[in-house]
């Protein structure tokens, strides 16, 4: 395992994106590895476009598809029926900045994507919080 | 780069190299180091020292000697990865009473191998039964050992863990980009030869035009020209063109033979524009890095053999299947609550001191009475994502069809790379390659899929590089490190800010507790970090014990 993977990947992704933008004037768009949900669109940025897709294709890696978390030597907390989600700023902050071992995964999401996934989780899996987070709220958190 | 922008590591190292080579009038190395220290900070100075060969490759200099009688002092070690195992080995040798608690059913931690007959149950409950043929395996975690990881290599030698070369660079493997060359993989040799050749020619032109006369004397310019001819495979006119010199690097259209059909036919280099615009020169720099330069090793038979080596030495001190639930310290010692994961029995262990190597995402969830600074440090280190997929095929088509013997193909596909086995070349029967080593966004997205779908995706993407995939595939295994129950991620990731704020607090002794592991090192993600942090920790513990 190497330590600089992220830096290298981010730099590469940026350079490739720049090169692609430059080439876009004259040639057709390159084939994409993205699937129907927008997953696998790139290494440095999530491509999923709805809260449901971001949850099922990204967050479920740890919090599990049913949002009930998992337990091993340590645990991933359940997001299902989670009272800590009552104040929207809390999950938004955690997605943007990380918590304990959880990486600041929102760094690879747009403000809108973070807002979408927070709103989705706060209205599903037994959570019934009606207030909505906007992209501008996320921008203020970064 | 605009002024004031942060210079990344490679940039500083490069700048220092340029400085050391170009400074006129001559300046002593000591003066230069002082200058660098003042202007660029300690880390830059350390890098400059490394380039002079004055800094140690790792802080492991020689086997640790813990002289002096610990007078029966006891130490409880949490975790039997390389950090915990090293601590147990050296402390028990020095006369300490040692007990180790380990969550898994074996010693080694992330020094781990999946081979035929192994099973792995990830968080969420999915269980994979590895079906590889005998001799085939993947290392889901660390898989290579640079020559300068002196600590790990020392213990491999001492513990009877055989090492063999890891084929980091294979000129005949591919560089692949879905958006370049119509998605057709390019041989690494062609990219490197043509990149070096064209850069050499361009620089030779600059010298001949007098563009460097303000930097180089006429004599040094001539030396540079000769060096460029050698480095770039230029012809007698300092040109990189189709011919004997360039084909001596990039290979021939028709290779030299014997007899009447012996005459070789040179190959046509790519144009300079093609090479530059391909972006594929990026792969060269990674292989030149200190972390990946030759000689680089792997344990014969898989990284699990590092764990087995330690198990032979300290296995009798380890209690397996023990899940730590609380760590409490007081004036007289440390008490740890744990649960036997097989029987559910609640147990307690006590000792005078505790070396804790539990990965931080897990430790952050364990009840523990430490100071606020250490508690904050434990919560300050996010763990990276990483996914590896092993694919078994009916035959080693990469060797048989494409003459690729070990090494790594890099790609912009979400699989990141394909790595071919660095052993048993020419074997008939099934072969296993590493079909994905992925991180970043794709790492999370692969982890979120069930294991069989991760394998299917690696197969689908990899077949763009090796069309034989679909015909030859047999079975596969896929490990997403965020689903590994005993780490919750791959390794700790520090930023400059988090290091400045928390690193010292993470490493220093808190009452009777000290942390060790790759997370408590500047070797994030490498086993050498675990070993050097353990040696540093037990050295400080021993001094404390002798002084108290």
How many angstroms separate the CA of residue B512 from the nearest CA in chain A?
Answer: 23
Q: Please write the tens of the pLDDT for every residue from A28-82.
A: 555 578 999 999 998 799 999 999 999 999 999 999 999 999 999 999 999 999 9
- Residue A111, domain member (yes or no): yes
Q: Which of B142, B383, B416 sits opposite A101 (nearest CB)?
A: B383
Distance, first Cα to last Cα, chain A = 29
Q: Do B412 and A16 touch (CB under 8 A)?
A: yes
List the structure tokens of B23. Answer: 């400074």
Contact A103 B480 (CB under 8 A): no
Strand partners for B386? none
Cβ proximity of B384 and B373 under 8 Å: no
Q: How many CB atoms lie within 10 A of CB B59?
A: 16
Domain-embedded: residue A101 = yes
Query: What is residue B4's predicted lDDT score, i.e. its pLDDT?
Result: 36
| Secondary structure (3-state) at B67 | coil
| Secondary structure class of B268 (helix, strand, coil) | coil
Which tokens go with A3? 């330590």
Q: Rounded to an integer, what distance in angstroms lies between the CA atom of residue B314 and that of residue B308?
A: 10
Whether A61 and B445 lie within 8 Å, measured CB to CB: yes
- Cα–Cα distances in angstroms (integers) from residue B276 to residues B173, B198, B271, B413, in the given order: 20, 9, 9, 20
Size of interface A-B (CB pairs under 8 A): 160
CB contact under 8 A, B493 and A105: no
Residues of A in contact with B360 (CB under 8 A): 100-101
| Range(s) of the domain holding residue A60 | 34-141
Of A13, A101, A103, the CB nearest to B364: A101
- Comparing alpha-carbon positions, the chain B residue that sits nearest to A77 is B365
Buried b (16+ CB within 10 A) or exposed e, B385-394: bbbbbbbbbe
Q: Give the whole-angstrom CA distance, residue A103 versus residue A95.
A: 8
User: Which of A41, A37, A39 lies closest to A29 in space, CA to CA?
Assistant: A41
The confidence score (pLDDT) of residue B61 equals 79
- Of B207, B232, B211, the closest CA to residue B221 belongs to B207
Phi and psi torsions of B451, nearest 5°? -55, -40
pLDDT at A22 over 90: no
Do A61 and B385 lie within an 8 Å CB cutoff?
yes
| pLDDT of chain B, 548 residues: tens digit per residue | 333 333 333 333 333 333 333 333 344 545 544 544 444 444 444 444 444 333 444 568 788 999 999 999 999 999 999 999 999 999 999 999 999 999 999 999 999 999 999 999 999 999 999 999 999 999 999 999 999 999 999 999 999 999 999 999 999 999 999 999 999 999 999 999 999 999 999 999 999 999 999 999 999 999 999 999 999 999 999 999 999 999 999 999 999 999 998 999 999 999 999 999 999 999 999 899 999 999 999 999 999 999 999 999 999 999 999 999 999 999 999 999 999 999 999 999 999 999 999 999 999 999 999 999 999 999 999 999 999 999 999 999 999 999 999 999 999 999 999 999 999 999 999 999 999 999 999 999 999 999 999 999 999 999 999 999 999 999 999 999 999 999 999 999 999 999 999 999 999 999 999 999 999 999 989 999 999 999 999 999 999 999 98
Radius of gyration over alpha carbons of chain A, in Å? 17
pLDDT at A7: 36
Do B546 and B353 touch, CB atoms closer than 8 A?
A: no
Q: Between chains, do A70 and B323 touch, taking CB under 8 Å as contact?
A: no
The reply to whether residue B488 touches residue A62, judged by beta carbons under 8 angstroms, is: yes
In a domain, A55, yes or no: yes
In sequence order, the β-bridge partners of residue B437 are B388
How close A82 comes to chain B (CA, Å)?
Answer: 17
- The residue written with tokens 């360039």 in the block is B246
What would you report as the CA-atom Rg of chain B, rounded to the nearest whole angstrom?
26
- Looking at residue B222, the DSSP 8-state letter turns out to be H
ipTM: 0.86
d(CA B351, CA B336): 9
Do B76 and B514 meet the contact criterion of CB atoms below 8 Å apart? no
In chain B, which residue's Cα lies nearest the Cα of A102? Answer: B382
Contact B340, B321 (CB under 8 A): yes
How far apart are alpha carbons A50 and B421 in whole angstroms? 40
Q: Return the pLDDT at B63.
A: 85
| Residue B241 near residue B235, CB atoms below 8 Å | yes
Mention every residue, 6+ apart, whose C-beta is less than 8 A from residue B273: none
Mutate: best of A1, A18, A75, partner B, most B CBs <10 A: A1
Residue A43: inside a domain: yes
Q: Pick from B398, B385, B540: which is nearest to B466 by CA?
A: B398
Contact of A85 with A91, CB cutoff 8 Å: yes
- Residue among A13, A17, A35, A73 with most chain B CBs within 10 A, to mutate: A73
Q: Are B472 and A44 in contact (CB under 8 A)?
A: no
Distance from CA of A131 to the nearest CA of B (A): 28
pLDDT of residue A42: 84
Between A11, A12, A74, which is nearest B361 by CB?
A: A74
Alpha-carbon distance of B304 to B113, in angstroms, equals 5
Which pLDDT value is given to residue B34? 52
Which of B327, B448, B487 is the mutation pick for testing A, counting most A CBs within 10 A? B448
Closest residue in A to B494 (Cα) is: A3
Give me the CATH topology for the region B74-101+312-380+496-547. FAD/NAD(P)-binding domain (3.50.50)
Q: Tell me the chain B residues in contact with residue A27 when contact means C-beta distances shorter than 8 Å.
A: none
Inter-chain residue contact A4 with B9, CB threshold 8 Å: yes
d(CA A45, nearest CA chain B) in Å: 6
The CATH number linked to A56 is: 1.10.760.10
DSSP summary character for residue A30? P
Of the residues A100, A106, A114, the best mutation for testing chain B's interface (the one with the most B CB atoms within 10 Å of its CB) is A100
Closest B-chain CA to A30: B179
Question: Mutating which of A21, A72, A79 best tests the B interface, going by the most B Cβ atoms within 10 A?
Answer: A72
- Whether B142 contacts B304, CB under 8 Å: no
Give the domain B114-172+295-302+384-483 fold.
Polyamine Oxidase; Chain A, domain 2 (3.90.660)
Residue that wins the pLDDT comparison between B115 and A22: B115
The CATH number, out of the four listed (1.20.1440.240, 3.30.450.40, 3.30.43.10, 1.10.287.110), of the domain defined by the range B187-278: 1.20.1440.240
Beta-sheet strands, E only, within B357-472: 367-368, 387-393, 407-411, 417-420, 431-438
CA distance B139 to B155: 19
> For residue B129, how far is the Cα from the chain centroid?
26
Give CA–CA dist A127/A117, Å, rounded: 13
Cα-Cα end-to-end distance for chain B: 54
Total domains present in chain A: 1
Q: What three-state secondary structure class fits A81? A: coil
The shortest CB-CB distance from B413 to any of A8, A33, A41 is to: A33
d(CA B538, CA B541): 5
Asked if A58's CB is within 8 angstroms of B277's CB, the reply is no
Asked if omega into B327 is within 30° of 0 (cis), the reply is no
> What is the least distance, in Å, from the CA of A7 to any CA of chain B?
9
- Looking at residue B58, what is its pLDDT? 55
In angstroms, the CA B13 to CA B11 distance is 5
A108 and B441 within 8 Å at the Cβ level: the answer is yes
Distance from CA of A41 to the nearest CA of B (A): 8
Residue A117 distance to chain B (closest CA, Å): 15
Q: What is the mean pLDDT of chain A?
A: 84
């Amino acid at each position: 395992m190497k330590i600089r993977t992220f830096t290298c990947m981010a730099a590469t992704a940026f350079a490739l994106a720049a090169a692609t933008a430059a080439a876009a004037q004259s040639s057709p768009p390159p084939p994409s590895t993205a699937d129907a949900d927008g997953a696998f669109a790139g290494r440095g940025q999530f491509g999923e476009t709805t809260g449901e897709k971001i949850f099922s294709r990204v967050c479920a890696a740890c919090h599990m598809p049913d949002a009930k978390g998992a337990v091993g030597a340590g645990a991933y907390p359940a997001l299902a029926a989670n009272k800590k989600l009552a104040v929207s700023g809390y999950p938004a902050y955690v997605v943007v900045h990380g918590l304990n071992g959880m990486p600041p995964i929102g760094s690879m999401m747009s403000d809108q994507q973070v807002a979408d996934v927070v709103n989705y989780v706060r209205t599903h899996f037994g959570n019934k919080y009606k207030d909505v987070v906007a992209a501008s709220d996320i921008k203020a958190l970064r | 780069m605009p002024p004031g922008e942060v210079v990344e590591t490679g940039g500083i190292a490069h700048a220092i190299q340029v400085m050391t080579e170009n400074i006129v009038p001559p300046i002593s190395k000591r003066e230069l180091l002082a200058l660098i220290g003042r202007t660029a900070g300690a880390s830059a100075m350390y890098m400059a020292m490394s380039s002079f060969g004055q800094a140690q490759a790792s802080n492991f200099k020689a086997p640790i000697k813990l002289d002096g009688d610990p007078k029966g002092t006891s130490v409880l070690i949490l975790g039997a990865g390389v950090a915990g195992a090293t601590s147990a080995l050296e402390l028990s040798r020095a006369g300490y009473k040692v007990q180790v608690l380990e969550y898994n059913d074996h010693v080694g931690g992330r020094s781990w191998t999946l081979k035929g007959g192994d099973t792995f149950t990830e968080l969420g409950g999915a269980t994979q039964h590895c079906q590889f043929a005998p001799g085939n395996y993947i290392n889901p975690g660390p898989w290579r050992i640079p020559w300068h990881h002196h600590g790990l290599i020392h213990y491999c030698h001492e513990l009877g863990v055989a090492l063999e070369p890891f084929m980091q660079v294979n000129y005949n493997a591919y560089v692949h980009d879905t958006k370049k060359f119509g998605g057709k993989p390019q041989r690494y040799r062609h990219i490197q030869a043509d990149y070096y050749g064209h850069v050499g020619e361009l620089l030779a032109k600059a010298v001949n035009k007098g563009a460097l006369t303000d930097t180089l004397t006429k004599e040094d310019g001539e030396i540079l020209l000769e060096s460029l001819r050698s480095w770039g495979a230029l012809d007698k006119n300092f040109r990189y063109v189709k011919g004997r010199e360039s084909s001596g690097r990039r290979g021939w259209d028709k290779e030299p033979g014997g007899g009447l059909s012996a005459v070789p036919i040179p190959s046509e280099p790519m144009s300079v524009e093609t090479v530059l615009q391909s972006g594929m020169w990026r792969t060269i720099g990674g292989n030149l890095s200190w972390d990946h330069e030759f000689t680089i090793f792997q344990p014969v038979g898989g990284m699990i053999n590092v764990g087995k080596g330690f198990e032979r030495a300290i296995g009798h001190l380890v209690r397996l299947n023990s899940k730590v639930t609380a760590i409490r310290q007081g004036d007289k010692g440390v008490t740890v609550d744990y649960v036997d994961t097989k029987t559910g029995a609640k147990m307690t262990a006590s000792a005078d001191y505790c070396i804790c190597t539990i990965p931080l995402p897990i430790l952050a969830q364990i009840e523990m009475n430490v100071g606020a600074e250490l508690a904050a440090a434990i919560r300050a280190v996010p763990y990276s994502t990483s996914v590896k997929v092993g694919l078994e095929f009916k035959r080693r088509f990469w060797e048989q069809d494409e003459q690729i013997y070990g090494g790594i193909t890099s790609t912009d596909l979400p699989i990141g790379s394909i790595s071919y086995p660095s052993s048993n070349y020419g074997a008939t029967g099934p072969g296993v390659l590493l079909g994905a080593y992925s991180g970043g966004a794709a790492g999370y997205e692969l982890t979120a899929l069930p294991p069989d779908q991760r394998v299917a995706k690696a197969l689908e993407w990899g077949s763009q590089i090796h069309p034989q995939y679909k015909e030859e595939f047999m079975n596969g295994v896929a490990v997403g490190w965020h689903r590994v129950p005993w780490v919750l991620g791959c390794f700790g990731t520090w930023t400059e800010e988090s290091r400045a704020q928390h690193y010292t607090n993470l490493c220093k002794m808190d009452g009777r507790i000290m942390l060790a592991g790759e997370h408590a090192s500047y070797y994030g993600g490498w086993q050498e970090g675990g070993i050097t942090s353990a040696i540093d920790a037990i050295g400080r513990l021993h001094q404390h014990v002798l002084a108290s």
